[in-house]
Amino acid sequence: MDQDLRYLKLLARNFPNIAEASTEIINLEAIMNLPKGTEHFISDLHGEYEAFLHVLKNASGNIKRKVNEIFGTTLRENEKKELCTLIYYPQEKLEIIKSNEDYLNDWYMITLHQLVRISQSVSSKYTRSKVRKSLPEEFSYIIQELMHESSSEPNKQEYLNRIILTIIETGRAEDFIITLCELIQHLSIDQLHIVGDIFDRGPGAHIIMDTLRHYHHFDIQWGNHDISWIGAASGNQACIANVLRLTFRYANMATLEDGYGINLLPLATFAMETYKDDPCERFTPTFLNNQHPDEKSTRLLAQMHKAITIIQLKLEAKIIDRHPEYGMNDRKLLEFIDKEKGVFRYNGEEYEMFDSNFPTVDPEHPYDLSPTEQDIMNKLCHSFKASDKLKKHINVLFTHGSIYHVCNGNLLFHASIPLNEDGTLKEVNIHGKLVKGRSLMDEVERQVRSAFNPNCPEEERLWAKDYLWYLWCGKDSPLFDKSKMSTFERYFVNEKSLYREDKGYYYNYRDDEKVCDMILDEFGITDNHRHIINGHVPVKAITKGENPMKAGGKLIVIDGGFAKAYHEQTGIAGYTLVYHSRGLQLVQHEPFTSARDAIERGTDIVSTILLVELSAHRVMVKDTDLGQELKAQVEDLKKLLVAYRDGTIKEHEKKQA
């Protein structure tokens, strides 16, 4: 009782009298009876920043649908397409319009009226206060007047027309149009969920991270590629080598050099000298983004690719030796190379090799770095740890990220929950702790954060840094969950049976409703319409007819191949899941050409809505996690009212700040 009274006295500081407390109750009750905001789920971006930014701008096609709803047959299809393109890319589109439009003021007048109508529609599910906070200060009052008044009322029509005309006459039409377009984008997505793998393969992970840094409401569930970059930023040299290897494999130099200022010159010099007579055919990069490099640049990338791959295999062996509990000796394979015969001897068998040129591998000590290799890695480690932008982006991953997230009846994690062969939760040993299910995920997150915690004992911090690499490719890692990662075998050995990577049992049970229910129960999710949402494994929707919805719709895989590297495998270019007040919709996207095409020709991502689950009743804020918090606040405020009325707490005036 004393504790309750102390809490109510603290609450009374913000609501010092009956009037203030009553007003807040009214406000909260009103908010709870608004439709829930729109959530967007997206995964496996893999650096494809143009497609990602376009999906944010068009809200997975929702803005286009909104334009069709509002204007129907009153606008031609071409006019609606032009209006949508303007909303997505206002600055660029305005430049084209200004150079082509003969009656610019008339165009401004018509367009501003159209944008006001769209703004009114997308803002209708939010409180005026929330909308106001989204507005730039210089236009806030004017936009509020336009959005909350109806031009259909005779008394208001001239008033609103006069506001818009004055905007044009004072030369502010262009700035005002840009502001309205950005507001429409902002209000079309209330909350963004990134279900892992922002990094690797594509050219602009750093651009995606910069965008997220300034985004209004988002969360990230770490993927295995994200964790590799987190490991690199911590100074884990095996993770650094892995990040570089994937960079060279997909010729993605922009993120490393332009994004994070990583100095690659020492490695390039070493690779050119060490492999000058080596064709490095297996290491020729895959060019995904309309790149047309010259032969010299391609050869240099191949040499750097091979050099860092050998270094990575050596560095990984050191971690494996430090941690026999990982059980990963099957990844230490340099010792089985017969350089003289050019074969790979393993488990009593002899295999032909694609490549047997290993000038830096000493058969007596195959996992020792040469002095030059160690010097290169020390310099690269310094470069990664000293990058200010990388530090900022890793901070975003920690501030807004986690290994899993529970939100509005949905359980989000990138890859898997390790399971036993019978579908029960698998117990995993993490630094002496036996954990499974939710406890396993919590312990994984604790270890990831420990690697960056200066208050953590040094021995524990070093263990956690090594564990970051294990999370990338370890058998029981919930971010990987395969029998092995066959890196060495695929590069060097001409035997496909050695490439086999068996998925964990989680992937066998993803279509089992009982197992999905067991996992949801483990995480305390009791909602009637609950789901598991994953990425990680591309759904081959077109090429193999795979279904992203599993276990009767209780598990949804939203990795549809955003990365261009996966387009041929999946036949599409990604999914986004949209959860609005009417229910869940899975949106299937076709490949995006480019922002330039979108601006100049009005091309949009072709999207198909796959209905997942529509609600019989509109979902309101009171039905969400936020609604539960608001209900609790209302109950506390009602207790405060009782305390005021029976004299337990005295009313007073609110102190001025």
CB atoms < 10 A from the CB of 610, how many?
Answer: 15
Tokens representing 122? 């997308």
How far apart CA 99 and CA 85 sit, in angstroms, is: 16
The DSSP-derived string for 224-288 is HHHHHHHHHHHT-HHHHHHHHHHHHHTT-HIIIIIIT----HHHHHHHHHHTTT---GGGPPPP-
Which residues, 6+ apart, have CB-to-CB distance to 433 below 8 Å? 443
Q: What is the pLDDT of residue 565?
A: 66
CA distances to 70, 178, 325, 593, 604 from 93, rounded to whole Å, are 22, 10, 58, 17, 14
pTM for the complete prediction? 0.91
SS3 256: helix
Smallest CA-to-CA distance from 216 within 24, 404, 39 is with 39
Q: What is the pLDDT of residue 509?
A: 96
Say what percent of the chain tops pLDDT 70: 92
Domain range annotation of the chain: 2-34+631-645, 39-195+535-619, 222-385
Is the Cα dihedral 292, 298, 304, 306 positive or negative? positive
Q: What is the pLDDT of residue 291?
A: 66
Q: What is the mean pLDDT of each run of 10 residues along the chain (657 residues)?
A: 82 91 91 90 91 87 88 90 92 90 90 91 83 82 77 69 87 91 91 94 92 94 97 97 96 92 96 95 83 84 97 98 95 93 91 93 95 97 96 97 96 96 96 96 97 94 97 96 94 93 94 96 91 86 74 88 66 76 82 72 67 80 92 93 90 69
How far apart CA 532 and CA 413 sit, in angstroms, is: 8
* Type of residue at 135: L
How far apart CA 473 and CA 319 sit, in angstroms, is: 12
How far apart CA 111 and CA 118 sit, in angstroms, is: 11
Tokens representing 197? 């793998």
Contact (Cβ atoms closer than 8 angstroms) between residue 498 and residue 264 = no
Is the Cα dihedral 146, 148, 154, 155 positive or negative? negative
Averaged confidence pLDDT in the chain:
89
How far apart CA 394 and CA 408 sit, in angstroms, is: 26
Q: What angle do CA 108, 110, 116 make, to 5 degrees?
A: 95
User: What is the dihedral angle through the alpha carbons of 442, 445, 451, 454, rounded to the nearest 10 degrees?
Assistant: -70
Q: What is the pLDDT of residue 570?
A: 59
Smallest CA-to-CA distance from 335 within 321, 323, 322 is with 321
What percent of the residues of the chain are helix, what percent strand, and what percent coil, each to the nearest 5? Answer: 55, 10, 35
How far apart CA 534 and CA 43 sit, in angstroms, is: 8
How far separated are the first and last CA of the chain, in Å rounded? Answer: 31
Parallel/antiparallel/unpaired status of strands 401-402 and 555-557 = unpaired
| Number of residues written out for the chain | 657
